[in-house]
Structure 1
Amino acid sequence: MAILYHHPLCPHSRFVRLAMGEYGLDADLVEERVWERREPFLALNPAGTTPVLVEASMPSVPGADVIAEYLDETRGLALGDRRLLPESPRERVETRRLTDWFNRKFFEEVSSHLVTEKIYKRFMPTNLGGGAPEMAAIRAGRANIRYHLKYVGYLIRQRKWLAGDRLTYADLAAAAHFSVVDYLGDVPWDEDETARGWYARVKSRPSFRPLLAESVPGTAAAPHYADLDF
C-alpha cells in the first residue's frame, strides 16, 4: 500500500488526500512534523515539506502539485468523467490556474498565517520559531480570506464548479485550504452564501469524511466544522 507523509492541518496534504479519496486510492498516513527536519524524511523530500507520496517501485513523489499530476498520469485516463484534470486544453489551463491560486496565493496570504500561528507554533521549539502567535499575522490571514471568499462566490455564480461544469483539482485545492481555516473557525461564511453553498457541496462528498473526523490535540474544531448543513 502507498504511504502518504502528511500533517492533519497541512492544506496541501489535505488536497492530496481529497484527490486520492476521489480516485478511490488508499494510503497509510504518516504524520510528519516538518519543523523537526527528520533525516529520513528529508531523504524523501529535500525541501522538507508535506505531502510526500511513496509507492512501491517508484521514487518518492513530493509536493501537492507534483502528486496531483502523478495521480492524473497514472490513474486519470481510466476514470472518464471522474478524472480531476479535464481533457480539454482550455479546461486544463483553468484547472491548473485555480489550483495554483489556492496552493500558492491563498496559502501565502491566508492558510499559512493562520495554521502556523494558531497550531504549528504550539508544537515547535522556540529556537525553530515556536512560541506565542503573532497577532498581526492572524489579522492579515483573517482579512485576506475575505476577497478569496468573494472570488469563489463570483466563480460559482458563473459555473457549476470552480473551473467549469465538473469537479476538478481546483475545487479540491480550494476546499482543502478553506477546510483548515474552517477548522479554526476563521472563515466568514455569512459574507458570501454562494461560496458557502459550494463548500457545503464539496464538504458533503465521501472523500471529505476522513478529514471531518480528525482533530488536533489541544485545539477543538469549530462547532460547525463537521456539520454538513452548516
Structure 2
Amino acid sequence: MSSILNTSNLNRSNSSIADAYGLNSQKASMAKADPSTEKTSSQKGSTQTESTGTDAIALSSRAQRAQKIQAMSKDFFANGQFSVADIPALVSRLQKDGILSERQVERLSQNGINPLTTDKTSTQSLQNFIDDELKSLSETSPNNPLINTLVDAKHVLTNMGDAQSPLLAQKAAKVFGQLTDYINSNPPMTDTQKQQWQGLKSTMQVASSMGSQQSALGQLSSYLALAKR
C-alpha cells in the first residue's frame, strides 16, 4: 500500500516539475496547428498559382503572335519578291491577324499606306531594287551613308519572320527615319524610283510597328485583365 502511494506521489511530482518548466504547455502548443501559418501557406500557394497562370497566358499570347508573324513572312517575303504593290495586302493581313491595331493602321494610312489600294504599277521587288541601288552607289559613291541604310533595310526584309523582335523593330525604325530624311531632301529621281523609295520606307514603318513592345502590350493587358477576374 505504501509503495502504491509513493508511485502516485512521484507521478504528481514529475507532472508538477514539467508544468513548472513549461514542458507540457510546449507539447500542447506543438500539437496544435497554427492557423496563421496555414493561412499564410494558403495565400502563398494561391499567389504562386495566379502568377503561374498569368505567365502562361502571356507566353501563349507571345507564341501565337510569333506564329502569325512567321506565317505572314512565309507568304509575303520568303521568295524575295515582295513589292510596293503588295504593301496594302500586307497591312490588311497584319490587321486581320491582330498584329497591327486599328490605330496603327490609321497611322500608316496617314503616311500614304492604304490597305484598300490595289495599284499594281510597280512590280519590281524591293530586294531587287535595293540590290540595284547598292550596285550603283558602290560604283559612283562608295562612301555614301545611304549604303548602310540599304544594307539594314535588306536585313529587315529578309528577317521579317522575326519582326516581333525588339532589335529588328528598332533597326526598321532607324532605317525608316533615315529613308524619310533622304526622301525629304528631294534627290533627283524618276517617278518610278520615288515610288520604290516610298514603298521601302513604308515597309520599314510597317516592320517597326510589328515589334512586340508596340502592338502586343494592349492585347496582353486584355488577357491579364481577364485572368484576374
The higher-RCO structure (CA 8 Å, 6+ apart) is 2
Common topology (TM > 0.5) = no
Higher helix share: 2
Tell me the TM-score normalised to structure 1 length.
Answer: 0.24
Give TM-score scaled by structure 2 length: 0.24
Higher-Rg structure is 2
- The structure richer in strand per residue is 1
